[in-house]
């Protein structure tokens, strides 16, 4: 019998070895993703036997759901705030860590600590930091003679307090990413700039920033993707309050699914989230070229 | 790591005032980073009188252990830590094994569909798990795994990022090693286990540490799968304590401290692997 040339021991072994992984991801990622999309065209409370087909009604309802639109806007606001903080502060921190100074390794260790600490623990500690009466922040402000605000209980400040907390957690991590980028820049460029009479300020804007472009894009996209999925901090710190002021996309989705059991509706929100992340990831690939060399 | 020697800094020698300013800024960043930890620790050793005092006191005037003993007596802290250890431990072993095994054909063999399958597996990373939480929950419910270790662990036993990292690392190893082994009559699995695996130590350590830390800190999936108090992981326990005991900050901070210690200890002891992990995964491999 004639067999194609690729059908050999190597192929059989490889396919057999990869089969478990393919089956795993099909079951635990592919199936939920497909089923979620299918469910988003249905109405279902998990009690009735089968979901009822309602076409695009969930999506139409989303477009007019003020709470949903509000949580979407608040997610965007949170994302923009935290990403701006991260780019500026992490790059600044990375520049500090790139200097020839003593104890630099120790500082690097310290700055990365929040990245290995759980968001739940961080959220709880910061709720206690922000406590209007007994928290460290307002007690320190009182020491300076300033009456501190209510922070998480203040509808206008709650999101700001969340951004401060998220920034505290992520700045050190992204500084490490920036540092790797900075260390990839050849010192030759700085030498040349110095000979041409450029000071530190000029060489930062003319050399560091342009040569760090791909790192900056990577950091921005990753930060946006992570921020759009923010959940644990919200759950622990505000539960979406006060008065819905910090309800974000994933929190709203969680509520619709597991508080109100509107599974179809929640699935439609999930698809919106997926679409946003998908577009951002594609943008990242565009900026980077091919994601991996295969 | 290489920071001190990689090059002569950004080519400027700083005048003294600038150096002082740089040290000042570093110190300020360190203080801001460490203050919440200090506040957490300090509160966990304070009696209630000091917690609800009108003035700032970072070091407790009369440190006590009472919050810790009370936490352990009143909360299932031990059980929650055991749950987290079981979940993170098993998950880590599983992810390491499946990643190495799945990465090997992608890194070393030629077969039709290789690149497509690899990109498909990597592509699953683009689907946020929150977006598909409902079917994931339904699946686990259908399998009868709600509120069980299987439910917490099995859907997390393989990781696209792990497969990717192991493949990238395998690509850096010279092929001659395996060819010698094959000539000596080793099968593929034997070659992987006896020749390649011993060389993968640093990469495996990096993956193991990242997986353990991420699993220990995971909140979202346990929140959906766990229903009983006994099955709570440590993250679920501290979240529940915060919701319930709004006033008892000393006890809450004691349990939060206990929950933070393992990952911070692992990080401080094994930080070179974290640096490596960021270099491997953060930027194009």
Tell me the C-alpha distance between B25 and B28, whole Å. 5
Q: Is-contact B152 B137, C-beta < 8 A? A: no
pLDDT (0 to 100) of residue A2: 64
H or E segment to which residue A114 belongs:
none
Q: Which of B2, B5, B11 to mutate to test the interface with A (most CBs of A within 10 A)?
A: B11
- A126, B32: Cβ pair inside 8 Å? no
Q: Residue length, chain A?
A: 294
C-alpha neighbours within 13 Å on the C-beta side of residue A1: 3
Q: Is-contact A98 A180, C-beta < 8 A? A: no
Tell me the C-alpha distance between B83 and B91, whole Å. 12
Tell me the C-alpha distance between A65 and B70, whole Å. 46
Estimate to the nearest angstrom the gap between the alpha carbon of B244 and the chain centroid: 27
- B10, A190: Cβ pair inside 8 Å? yes
C-alpha neighbours within 13 Å on the C-beta side of residue B228: 9
Q: How far, in Å, are A152, A153, A212, B284 from residue A132 at the CA level? A: 9, 9, 41, 44
> Which of B33, B135, B213 minimises the CB distance to A31?
B135
The structure's pTM equals 0.90
Strand-pairing partners, residue A42, are A53
pLDDT (0 to 100) of residue B245: 58
User: What interface predicted TM-score (ipTM) does this complex get?
Assistant: 0.89
- A274, B155: Cβ pair inside 8 Å? no
Per-residue pLDDT, averaged over A226-253, amounts to: 93
- A118, B106: Cβ pair inside 8 Å? no
- B268, A109: Cβ pair inside 8 Å? yes
- Name the token pair of B224: 């959906």
Q: Is the pLDDT of residue A291 over 70?
A: no
Tell me the C-alpha distance between A117 and A232, whole Å. 13
Tell me the C-alpha distance between B61 and B45, whole Å. 10
pLDDT (0 to 100) of residue B178: 82
- B134, A250: Cβ pair inside 8 Å? no
Whether A107 has its CB under 8 Å from any CB of chain B: the answer is: yes
Residues of A in contact with B15 (CB under 8 A): none
All domains of chain B in start order, with CATH: 16-64 (no CATH), 75-281 (1.10.3720.10)
pLDDT (0 to 100) of residue B24: 94
**Torsion sign over Cα B216, B217, B218, B220:** positive
Tell me the C-alpha distance between A38 and A44, whole Å. 12
- Name the token pair of A280: 């951002």
Per-residue pLDDT, averaged over A257-261, amounts to: 92
pLDDT tens figures, A83-92: 999 999 999 9
Q: Which residue of A has its CA nearest to B245?
A: A124
pLDDT (0 to 100) of residue A3: 72
The contacts of residue A23 (CB under 8 Å, 6+ apart) are: none
pLDDT tens figures, A96-125: 999 888 889 899 999 999 999 999 999 999
Q: What is the mean pLDDT of each run of 10 residues along chain B (285 residues)?
A: 43 73 94 96 91 82 90 90 97 96 93 92 88 91 96 95 92 85 84 88 91 95 95 95 79 95 92 72 44
- Name the token pair of A263: 């599974």
Residues of A in contact with B259 (CB under 8 A): 118, 120-121
Helix ranges, chain B (H)? 16-44, 48-51, 66-74, 77-108, 114-123, 133-142, 149-153, 160-172, 176-183, 188-191, 201-217, 220-225, 234-244, 249-269, 271-281
- A194, B220: Cβ pair inside 8 Å? no
Tell me the C-alpha distance between A17 and A199, whole Å. 57
pLDDT tens figures, B128-169: 888 888 999 999 999 999 999 999 999 999 999 999 999 999
Tell me the C-alpha distance between B25 and B235, whole Å. 33
Q: What is the dihedral of CA A249, A251, A255, A261, to 10 degrees?
A: 60
Burial code (b: 16+ CB inside 10 Å, e: under 16) for A189-225 equals bbeebbeeebebeebbeebbeeebeebbebbbbbbbb
């Amino acid at each position: 019998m004639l067999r194609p040339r690729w059908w050999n021991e190597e192929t059989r072994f490889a396919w057999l070895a990869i089969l478990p992984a393919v089956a795993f991801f099909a079951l635990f990622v592919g199936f939920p993703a497909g089923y979620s999309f299918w469910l988003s065209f249905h109405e279902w409370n998990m009690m009735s036997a089968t979901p009822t087909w309602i076409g695009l009604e969930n999506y139409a309802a989303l477009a007019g759901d003020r709470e949903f639109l509000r949580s979407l806007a608040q997610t965007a606001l949170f994302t923009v705030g935290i990403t701006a903080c991260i780019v500026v502060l992490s790059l600044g921190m990375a520049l500090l860590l790139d200097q020839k100074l003593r104890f630099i390794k120790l500082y690097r260790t310290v700055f990365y600590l929040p990245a290995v600490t759980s968001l739940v623990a961080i959220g709880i500690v910061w709720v206690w930091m922000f406590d209007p009466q007994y928290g460290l922040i307002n007690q320190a402000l009182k020491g300076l003679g300033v009456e501190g605000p209510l922070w998480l209980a203040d509808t206008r400040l709650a999101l700001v307090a969340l951004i401060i907390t998220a920034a505290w957690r992520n700045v050190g991590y992204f500084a490490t990413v920036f540092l790797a980028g900075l260390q990839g820049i050849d010192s030759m460029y700085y030498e040349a700039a110095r000979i041409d009479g450029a000071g530190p300020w000029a060489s930062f804007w003319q050399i560091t920033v342009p040569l760090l472009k791909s790192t900056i894009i990577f950091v921005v996209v990753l930060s946006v993707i992570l921020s759009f999925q923010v959940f644990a901090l919200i759950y622990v710190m505000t539960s979406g309050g006060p008065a819905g002021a910090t309800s974000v996309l994933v929190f709203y989705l969680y509520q619709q699914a597991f508080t109100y059991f509107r599974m179809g509706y929640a699935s439609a929100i999930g698809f919106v989230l997926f679409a946003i992340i998908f577009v951002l990831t594609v943008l990242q690939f565009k900026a980077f070229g091919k994601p991996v060399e295969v | 790591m290489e920071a001190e020697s990689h090059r002569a800094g950004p080519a400027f020698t700083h005048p003294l005032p600038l150096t002082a300013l740089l040290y000042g800024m570093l110190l300020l960043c360190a203080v801001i980073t460490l203050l919440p930890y200090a506040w957490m620790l300090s509160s966990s050793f304070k009696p209630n009188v000091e917690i609800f005092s009108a003035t700032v006191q970072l070091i407790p005037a009369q440190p006590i252990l009472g919050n810790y003993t009370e936490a352990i007596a009143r909360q299932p802290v031990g059980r929650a830590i055991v749950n987290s250890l079981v979940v993170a431990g098993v998950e880590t072993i599983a992810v390491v094994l499946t990643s190495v095994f799945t990465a090997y054909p992608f890194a070393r063999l030629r077969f039709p569909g290789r690149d497509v399958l690899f990109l498909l597996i990597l592509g699953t990373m683009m689907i946020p798990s929150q977006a598909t939480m409902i079917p994931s929950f339904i699946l686990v419910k259908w399998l009868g795994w709600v509120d069980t270790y299987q439910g917490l662990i099995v859907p997390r036993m393989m990781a696209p990022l792990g497969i990717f990292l192991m493949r990238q690392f395998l690509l850096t190893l010279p092929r001659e090693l395996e060819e010698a082994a094959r000539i000596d009559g080793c099968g593929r699995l034997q070659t992987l286990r006896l020749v390649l695996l011993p060389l993968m130590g640093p990469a495996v350590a990096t993956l193991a540490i990242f997986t353990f830390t991420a699993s220990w800190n995971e909140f979202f999936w346990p929140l959906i799968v766990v229903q009983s108090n006994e099955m709570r992981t440590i993250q679920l326990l501290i979240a529940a304590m915060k919701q319930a005991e709004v006033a008892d900050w000393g006890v809450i901070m004691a349990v939060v401290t206990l929950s933070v210690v393992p990952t911070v200890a692992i990080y401080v002891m094994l930080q070179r692997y974290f640096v490596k992990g960021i270099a491997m995964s953060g930027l194009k491999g």
